[in-house]
Structure 1
Amino acid sequence: MRKTDGLFKLLGLCLLAGILTAGVLFPIVGAAGVASNKASETVDSMSAELANVPPPLVTTITDSGGHPIATLYDQYRIPTASSQINEAMKWALVSVEDKRFYEHHGVDWKGTIRAALSNSTGGDTQGASTLTQQYVKNYLINVIYRDDEIGQKKAQEQSVARKLKEARIAIQLETKMDKDQILTSYLNVVEFSRKIYGVGAAAQTYFNTTPDKLSVPQAALLAGMVNNPPFYDPWSHPERATERRNLVLDRMVENRKLAPEDAAKFKTEPLGVLPDGPVKPAANCTGAGPENGFFCQYVQDYLLTNGMSKDDLYSGGYTIRTTMDQNAQHAAKVSAEQQVNKTQKNVANTLSLVRPGKDKHEVVALAANRDYGPDASKGQTTYALPSDVSNVTGAGSSYKIFTTAAALEQHKTGIYATIQTPQSYVSRIYVGGGQSCPLVARGTRAYCLSNYGEGNYGPSMPLQQALATSPNTGFVILEEQAGLGPVLDMARRLGMRNTMASNPATGGPVDPKSKEAIHNMTQQKYYGPGGASKDGFGAFTLGFSPTNGLELANVAATIMSGGVWCPPTPIAAVSNRDGKPIKVKEPACEQAVPEGLANSLAVGMSKDDTDGTSRAAAQAAGWNRPMIGKTGTTQESGSAAFVAAVPQMAGAAMVFRPDNPFGGLCDGAGNVTPCANGNMFGGKAPARTWFGAMNQILAGQPVIPLPPSDPAYEH
């Protein structure tokens, strides 16, 4: 190299040093000064954020007893204090990445100027970043811009401007944090490949240990990875990882933190990572397993519906103690599987259980015959079968509860009053009948129906008996008397909130852009007067519409709570990453119907297990407790339900076709199968599912009588 070249390079180095120093320490005056002041504000804000805002953590979901059942996260990170990280790990990192870490004040000026000069003159890009600067960059990439590819690229671009900003933040950061805090924070934020972040998670997933127990070669392996985690991944590139680990050991010797003979010994050791890759928990509700996954899914859905963002849920480091009773959950799962095989195609059997109360309705169990999971070949599903509007064909005559409640509220009848129950009936108020029904207007036919079977019912009977034996005509007539609008509103008030807000076609969200009423209207609007038909659908009381099983269970809980509706909550308590309790925004409880009405309705529903459609299932189970119940079966036995409750517990069991809803269901010995002409009824598999689970759950609990009826609603 000529002397003049060396002179010019020296002058350039000095000039660049001056610019960098001025840029870091002093704003430029004039017009440029305004920009510099704005940049200073950004730097101040960023350094404060790095000093005070913690990185994403894992949210833990537990059962009611506090036992973990699942973890939710985007970045698997186990927060680790400085005292929990041994010296081998700290010195391995310092030795290989920043041996003057304890001497500088955030920036290694010699290395920074050399790198900036090389980059600005077109030479090879160079780093020379200190650990403090690396912490800044990793924080930007892994925390602030973790979901922003453009931001991540800017945080890594090789430019003087980026280096300058990074240096300024590093200098300010060292005025707010001491060296040990910076080193610990770095070790908690950096990635160790495969979405494993922080030394706590790395020690656990790589070696099944904790950071305080890492050996020197283990620490050297991890320290060597931070430079380029995917490149030095020990499972994908063991030779590279070994070479890099050995380099770190050499640097520890150079830094006088390791004896040469020990380094030589450690170099002969294998990497020692777990043989089949890193072991970390599932990042979502699949980690709750086949039995608890449906409950975990409802916890997530409930929190997202009530104001928490998914990003906050998956990064906030919350501990969410749920209301799930593990014994009840297991009993519900076992009972559902006893009626329908878990691998049976196109048949779902669900059981949702809710604890009644006047200040809270706690969800106790959400179970299905199917396992929760991603493997469809094993019959698994991640669709929220027990807690979503998943039964498209409905819950049948269980909807007669809403007609009865609306009629009682208007004093059109009483639970002991006699109602008409003719074998057949033609409703000219409601429409939608087939070709055999008479015309009520041009192109519009009346709604005609009959009771199931010949000679099963007399022309009239007490309402309590009708609720137990379920004649169709009696409740359509009662629906006419009460008015379909009030019946629809009663369904919503007693608990079918999401159901009535869903569309009638699929039970999903309403699509306002659709030109078809069945997609752009809610069930509340579509089935009512002024909806898709002029006068409304009289068949609503027969329960042919998409239904949410959990909400149906909550209807029973509302009745058993003196008419008080509360949201079916899966949340017992939530604490933040610091262990402090936080309040979840949940809808307030409401007095949906007068207490006397609710208690009278309960008495009206109290004969199903002794004189009604669930009698055979109750006797087979040896049932002897006072309870309320209502079965339901849809057309062609395509789905069936059983809504029931005792004072301690309310629930709903439903069997339906989740994949292809068209056709029937056949009840067999220990299984239900799809078929053309079904024989399924609510008193069969659904009732047996309820009784089987409740016998286990209530074992040893006292027998509590139902509340007495109110004379105002008796006749």
Structure 2
Amino acid sequence: MQEYPDQFQNSNSSGKGFIPFIRRRWKLLFFLGGVVPAFLFLVFIITAYIQWRGVKPSADEIIDSMDRELSGNLSERDKTPISIYDRNGILIGELRRTSLPEIRPENMQNYSGIVWALLASEDREFYSHGGVRLKAIIRALYQTVLGRSVQGGSTITQQLAKLILSDAEGGNRGDSGVKIRSRNVFNKVSELFCTWYLERKFDKNTILAMYLNRVFLGFNSVGFDDAARKYFGVSASQLSLGEAALLVGIIPAPSSYNPTVSVKRAQNRQKLVLQLMEANPDLSPTPQKLNVNLEIKRLIARHDIQMKEVEGGKIYRSRIGKYPYARNIEKNLAPDFNNEIENWLRNQFPSEEIKSSVLRIDTSLDLRKQKIAANLIEKRVKAIRDNFEKEAKELKGKNNTQEEKDLLKLIAAGTNGSMISINPENGYIETMVGSYLYSSASPLNRALHIYRQPGSTIKSLVYSLALEEKIINPLSVVEDKAVSAGGYSPRNWYSGYRGKMLTRNAFALSVNTIPVMLLKEVGVGKMVNTMQAMLGMTDEEIDKRIDGRANLSMALGSIEVSPIELARIYASLASGGYRVDPVMVTRVKSFDNQDLFVYEPPEEKTPVIDPIAAAMTLNLMQGVISEGGTMVVKNKKLQELAGGKTGTVQSPASAKKRWHRTGVRDTWFAGVLPNEVTVIWIGNEQGAPIPGSGGGNTGSVWQEYSENLVASGRLDKSKFLPPLPDSAYKTAICADSGMLLNPELECEHPLYNQVFYPELQPRFEQRTEEYLAMMRKAAEELVPREGESEINPFGESGPPVIGAAAKKLDMSNAGGVELEDSGSIAASAPQEWQFEEE
């Protein structure tokens, strides 16, 4: 027999063991182990119920509104659209307030494919449970308490409850713009109360119809009918089983599974849903046959899904998401802009207030300008696309015809453009073209939401900072020469280097070496801080954008910006050095003519750069469109009241190899007119090389657009430059020599209203007087003596009054410095970047 230690043998008799402790303390242990948890659970349930009761009135408004829509019981107010007007009072859009949904309880049999796919994938017991599945709830609560990601398992009614409560509580909006309710235990339980409420209030088909019309399916689409039209160009009742399965597959993760983000992931999800449908044929409301592989093939054929293997992976192309459709907008004269107005409205007001109160929205858009801009972007991008299509047709009969043909079609499809104009005085957005042609793909508004390297258009910011620091002025002498530091050697878009030249000419010619040297003098940190101030970014936002790439390559556009951001940088210069915040909506009125929103400009503007430096930069921009610039404008009237900057980003070697061609990836133009800054981008979204340059592609669009405005006679030349401080020195110069304009000097290209810091006035006057003295002396030496021939020794062209004489004159006293290559550059640009101007 086994012997035990004495302490165990005597534990019961001594009263000091475990069992006696249990006997003595059983009431306390029962209280702690049973009553307290039960009490805490009761408190938890009561708290969650109180939370539900607090939000129930708002939820009831949403639920009643959904019920009215399903029943078709719409008031006259419900049927009255929200009117959107441009700045001149012209109706540009009508936003549907509400309408009879296509999917309703009484016609559910028309959507049997959607219902089958949804039930098989999300809730197979929908028609038999009471709104919840107990096991799934316990698992979800357990995961939430542990702080883990919640697993699937919510019923369709629970998902509908969550959608309603998110809207009722005004939940935070995610990247999609859809309101998202935070995940916590109390929210989970309050959703149960809402679920049971819905189950008691409505029959199953009504709940199902509400959900089908309310669920978010990615790509800014809400409900299955909206998604069907956006993705596939058909109504929900016309969806094939394969299309229905693809849409249902989006539900768990709309930002990842929608086909406009990833065709591959969407197809994988589609296949999974189709397999679940095949395994559950009894869930189909009507008898249907399903062949999984056939449905997948039908979708591929119907929407032209193509896949090509290229170096480093695969590329996809399809027509999904490229069908013209605007969900709620009936009259729609500015689709991209009106989409943004709808998004703004839904962010600004609760949905029920939009339905019940909002009648009229006044906006900043100028429809006349918008039409010109949209037509020009379409014409230019179409011309580039047509050239690729023509090239593809000409490949017939050559080797690798189909492969090359497919690549050309992909390049053509990926070529797009955008344009945005902003008034620097008040921030009003006057034109907004988000894409080549408006389609349901336009929720990706390329004027606002694409981020690309801006190339040489960013040089205006670099020069303005150097001007502000008085490192240079427009008439300083700078030198274009080789720069090599830290392994980074910027190259010019032309061959070699051109030596000494005026700052004004270096900017107009878009020399690459000089802005790099200027940024070294200014400091990369100052450029980053100024960008942050101009764009109103937080520290976190600018750090994320720079992403450790704060180096001298920023002088040539290595940091990505969107067209609206680049427009804001130029608007800061055109406004006289103040930050310009974009404005789209100026006023919102209600049915009873009350103001629900009125835009109020800030009482004080935020200065971001010196106003004289900003004005000098605008003067430099005038040189770009004049003789010797990268985009010469022949229209003299336009030359007098405009300035601009081209930008071209070359395709890296890897892209040229992948796409079997050379060319550029992005072309830009930033143009300034009186009270208007315009930025245009044309490029390839897949990074494929396209022909052209900033001057040829985007510059030509801006020139034609601006000539239309000049012809209207509404541009005031005096407003090209912003208001200046009294200390500013304003004068006229000769662009050929850089001297002050003088009657004694011939000048082919005079420039008026040129701005400088006041301390430069005596230097310029002295330099011009020295120049005149030299010219007088040269003229005296050329007077013929008695008996000599009067033939001009310089020939028919006459004496070198400007050009040659200027070369003899030491122009280093112009108030600037000659930048030398000294020191090293802290960080070099990645090797694939090749910044070459046109």
Whole-angstrom CA distance in 2 between matches of 1:464 and 1:482 = 18
Q: Is the contact made by 2:669 and 2:695 (CA closer than 8 Å) also made in structure 1?
A: yes
Post-superposition offset of 1:595: 1.8
Whole-angstrom CA distance in 1 between matches of 2:541 and 2:50 = 51
Q: Is the contact made by 2:421 and 2:429 (CA closer than 8 Å) also made in structure 1?
A: yes
Match of 1:364 among 430, 433, 437: 430
3-state SS of paired residue (2:336): helix
TM-score computed with the length of structure 1 as normaliser: 0.53
**What whole-Å deviation, never above 9, does each CA across 1:44-90 have from its counterpart, x for those lacking one?**
99889989999696654332234444455684389xxxxxxxxxxxx
Instruction: Tell me: CA distance 1:361–1:74, structure 2 relative to 1, closer, same or farther (3 Å).
Output: same
Pairing 1:367-406 to 2, within 5 Å after superposition: 367-368=433-434, 370-374=436-440, 381-388=442-449, 390-392=450-452, 394-406=453-465
Q: Is the contact made by 1:500 and 1:524 (CA closer than 8 Å) also made in structure 2?
A: no
Whole-angstrom CA distance in 1 between matches of 2:350 and 2:59 = 22
Match of 2:485 in 1: 427
Post-superposition offset of 1:42: 10
Post-superposition offset of 1:156: 5.0
Whole-angstrom CA distance in 2 between matches of 1:547 and 1:41 = 43
Match of 2:548 among 504, 515, 526: 526
Match of 1:701 in 2: 714
Post-superposition offset of 1:415: 2.0
**What whole-Å deviation, never above 9, does each CA across 1:3-25 have from its counterpart, x for those lacking one?**
xxxxxxxxxxxxxxxxxxxxxxx
The yes-or-no answer on 1:626 pairing with 2:684 is no
Match of 1:664 among 689, 698, 701: 689
The yes-or-no answer on 1:292 pairing with 2:334 is yes
Q: Is the contact made by 1:59 and 1:317 (CA closer than 8 Å) also made in structure 2?
A: no
Post-superposition offset of 1:602: 1.2
Match of 1:551 in 2: 565
Match of 2:373 in 1: 332
Post-superposition offset of 1:486: 0.7
Q: Is the contact made by 1:59 and 1:313 (CA closer than 8 Å) also made in structure 2?
A: no
C-alpha RMSD of matched pairs (Å): 4.8
**What whole-Å deviation, never above 9, does each CA across 1:481-532 have from its counterpart, x for those lacking one?**
1111111222333348599937xxxxxxxxxxxxxxxxxx52235222xxxx
Post-superposition offset of 1:326: 0.6
Match of 1:65 among 73, 88, 95: 88
3-state SS of paired residue (2:334): helix
Post-superposition offset of 1:649: 1.4
Amino acid at match of 2:649: T
Match of 2:619 among 578, 589, 603: 603
Match of 2:404 in 1: none
Whole-angstrom CA distance in 1 between matches of 2:515 and 2:163 = 59
Pairing 1:193-232 to 2, within 5 Å after superposition: none
**What whole-Å deviation, never above 9, does each CA across 1:563-583 have from its counterpart, x for those lacking one?**
122211111212345432234
3-state SS of paired residue (2:668): strand
Match of 1:353 in 2: 421
Match of 2:495 in 1: 454
Q: Is the contact made by 1:493 and 1:592 (CA closer than 8 Å) also made in structure 2?
A: yes
Instruction: Tell me: CA distance 1:496–1:683, structure 2 relative to 1, closer, same or farther (3 Å).
Output: farther
Post-superposition offset of 1:366: 0.8
Whole-angstrom CA distance in 2 between matches of 1:51 and 1:391 = 40
Whole-angstrom CA distance in 2 between matches of 1:317 and 1:143 = 22
3-state SS of paired residue (1:632): strand
Whole-angstrom CA distance in 2 between matches of 1:370 and 1:348 = 5
Q: Is the contact made by 1:402 and 1:488 (CA closer than 8 Å) also made in structure 2?
A: no
**What whole-Å deviation, never above 9, does each CA across 1:174-195 have from its counterpart, x for those lacking one?**
xxxxxxxxxxxxxxxxx99997
Whole-angstrom CA distance in 1 between matches of 2:339 and 2:484 = 44
Q: Is the contact made by 1:349 and 1:369 (CA closer than 8 Å) also made in structure 2?
A: yes
3-state SS of paired residue (2:484): strand
Pairing 1:569-580 to 2, within 5 Å after superposition: 569-576=583-590, 578-580=592-594
Q: Is the contact made by 1:427 and 1:448 (CA closer than 8 Å) also made in structure 2?
A: yes
Q: Is the contact made by 1:416 and 1:464 (CA closer than 8 Å) also made in structure 2?
A: yes
Instruction: Tell me: CA distance 1:60–1:461, structure 2 relative to 1, closer, same or farther (3 Å).
Output: same
Whole-angstrom CA distance in 2 between matches of 1:385 and 1:694 = 21
Whole-angstrom CA distance in 2 between matches of 1:412 and 1:425 = 18
Match of 1:255 in 2: none
Pairing 1:105-254 to 2, within 5 Å after superposition: 153-158=195-200
Instruction: Tell me: CA distance 1:53–1:609, structure 2 relative to 1, closer, same or farther (3 Å).
Output: same
Q: Is the contact made by 1:600 and 1:713 (CA closer than 8 Å) also made in structure 2?
A: no
- The percentage of aligned residue pairs carrying the same residue is 17
Match of 1:265 in 2: none
Q: Is the contact made by 1:353 and 1:650 (CA closer than 8 Å) also made in structure 2?
A: yes
Instruction: Tell me: CA distance 1:469–1:154, structure 2 relative to 1, closer, same or farther (3 Å).
Output: same
Pairing 1:477-492 to 2, within 5 Å after superposition: 477-492=517-532
**What whole-Å deviation, never above 9, does each CA across 1:638-659 have from its counterpart, x for those lacking one?**
111111111131111111112x
Q: Give 5+ residue unaligned stretches, structure 1.
A: 1-34, 79-139, 163-190, 197-280, 375-379, 429-445, 503-520, 529-535, 667-679
Whole-angstrom CA distance in 2 between matches of 1:495 and 1:713 = 31
Match of 2:286 in 1: none
Whole-angstrom CA distance in 2 between matches of 1:683 and 1:41 = 61
**What whole-Å deviation, never above 9, does each CA across 1:382-409 have from its counterpart, x for those lacking one?**
3111122x143x1211111121122122
Instruction: Tell me: CA distance 1:487–1:145, structure 2 relative to 1, closer, same or farther (3 Å).
Output: closer
Instruction: Tell me: CA distance 1:46–1:327, structure 2 relative to 1, closer, same or farther (3 Å).
Output: same
Match of 1:685 in 2: 697
Instruction: Tell me: CA distance 1:602–1:657, structure 2 relative to 1, closer, same or farther (3 Å).
Output: same
Match of 1:217 in 2: none
Pairing 1:313-328 to 2, within 5 Å after superposition: 315=355, 317-318=357-358, 319-328=360-369
Q: Is the contact made by 1:347 and 1:656 (CA closer than 8 Å) also made in structure 2?
A: yes
Instruction: Tell me: CA distance 1:52–1:501, structure 2 relative to 1, closer, same or farther (3 Å).
Output: closer
3-state SS of paired residue (1:356): coil
Post-superposition offset of 1:686: 0.5
The yes-or-no answer on 1:418 pairing with 2:458 is no
Q: Is the contact made by 2:82 and 2:97 (CA closer than 8 Å) also made in structure 1?
A: no
Whole-angstrom CA distance in 2 between matches of 1:411 and 1:601 = 13
Match of 1:341 among 377, 382, 395: 382
3-state SS of paired residue (1:491): helix
Amino acid at match of 1:295: F
Post-superposition offset of 1:157: 4.5
Post-superposition offset of 1:552: 1.5
Q: Is the contact made by 2:434 and 2:442 (CA closer than 8 Å) also made in structure 1?
A: no
Q: Is the contact made by 2:625 and 2:639 (CA closer than 8 Å) also made in structure 1?
A: no
Whole-angstrom CA distance in 1 between matches of 2:533 and 2:53 = 54
TM-score computed with the length of structure 2 as normaliser: 0.45
Post-superposition offset of 1:372: 2.1
3-state SS of paired residue (2:518): helix
Amino acid at match of 1:664: P
Post-superposition offset of 1:702: 4.0
Whole-angstrom CA distance in 2 between matches of 1:313 and 1:463 = 56
Q: Is the contact made by 1:632 and 1:641 (CA closer than 8 Å) also made in structure 2?
A: yes
